[in-house]
Structure 1
Amino acid sequence: MTDFVFPPAAQPWLPVADSTARFPLARVFCIGRNYRWQPDEPAPTAMPAWFMKPATAIVPAQGTLPYPPETTSFCHEVELVVAIGEGGRDIDPSHVEARHIWGYAVGLDMTRRDLQLEAKQVGGPWEPSKAFDASAPCTPIVPAAVCGHPRERTIRLAVNGVERQRGDVSGLLFPIPELVAMLSRSVTLMPGDLIFTGTPSGVAALEPGDVITACVAGIGDLSMTVGH
């Protein structure tokens, strides 16, 4: 038996929708701009950038969302989340849905926007703006065998009942099979990886006490209140 110097942390996980099963988490990948934010925005010529959050940033998308320290611009980004069930390297896009995607969820890529803008100005890393505690609320994972592979699903977010973000998964600039294949060319994907696939326009700041509601049709919905 290995003698750890202190007890190892518990395995992070998310519930599986309508089940007692648990989906063990490995890593969290987040895709940069992957929807058009302007009607006349030109088509991209290169795959989008990506960054990571720790699996411990995942929290159930319910109850209170803590307002993080060191920011005055705490912003929401609603996203369709892909849950990887079979990993691999240099994955063929045509194999992604049949072999590698276990399910889907709805997530919030929470951002300390002021810290992100500071990092952009000096060419610094994004971790302080993206990888903080509770920065990735997520709904239970729906197996692809139940929900299918979403191609035309409304994605939306409202704050205090006022809609801020609305789009459709069909508007992804790079569809999910291409995103998964792209990541697998850079890193070996693992079972338990989550991929946040990008957010529609309408990103804005939150205030303590705000109530966030969000959904991807047929996948899940969430409601959280921003803490103080």
Structure 2
Amino acid sequence: MPITLDPSLPPSLYPLAWLVGSWQGSGAVHHGEDAADQRVEQQLRCEPREDGTLAWTSVIHVIDAPAPLPPTSAFAKEEPAAPAPSGSGQRSLLLRESGVWTVGEPLPGQDLERARTAKPGSPEATLSYALTAELDSGDDARPWAGEVRGPRIQLALAGDDGPAPAVGVSHPRLAATRMLGYVGGRLMWLWERRDESAGASDELAPYLSLELDRA
């Protein structure tokens, strides 16, 4: 689905034009292999700020109901879990999060001149930009770092035993990652984090996976 660029959008936010707006949808919170996934619903607002950054406001509720089956997200598990009994539908707050996203300069190693002269929308015209997000869930603000390339975002959060990850560089002790994509007019995103029950394991496990439509 084509992305319409708002002429009032600050140029610094052009790489995130597809994310700007209000979104709502559902998905699953994953509790690991020992417990069934649960349905979640999200309300998300991504609003330009006067300083050229993007304000992120997210509210996610857990619904007392099975996770959507079969999974529809491109980021969901390949094998759906067995259906769980129907729940009461009661809602409880899982996460309230706010923050600021900042788009940086194009990442090094790219042919900027070729991108400028390429046909708009072509692979040659697509550049990767540094991206940072300071996200606060009420306890403390955590710095995420990564990149945006076309309609895809990758962010990483370093563990407590390491510095914030450098853009484009893998980190041996990541605490979490997020991947967002604009697919067929929908916003799909996955949050993976280190499984604390696994002790010193470096493995990241799915935590949240959602599909959102424009509200």
Larger radius of gyration: 2
Comparing both structures, which one devotes a greater share of its residues to helix? Answer: 1
Assess same fold via TM > 0.5. no
RCO higher in structure (CA 8 A, sep ≥6): 1
- TM-score normalised to the size of structure 1? 0.28
Structure with bigger strand share is 2
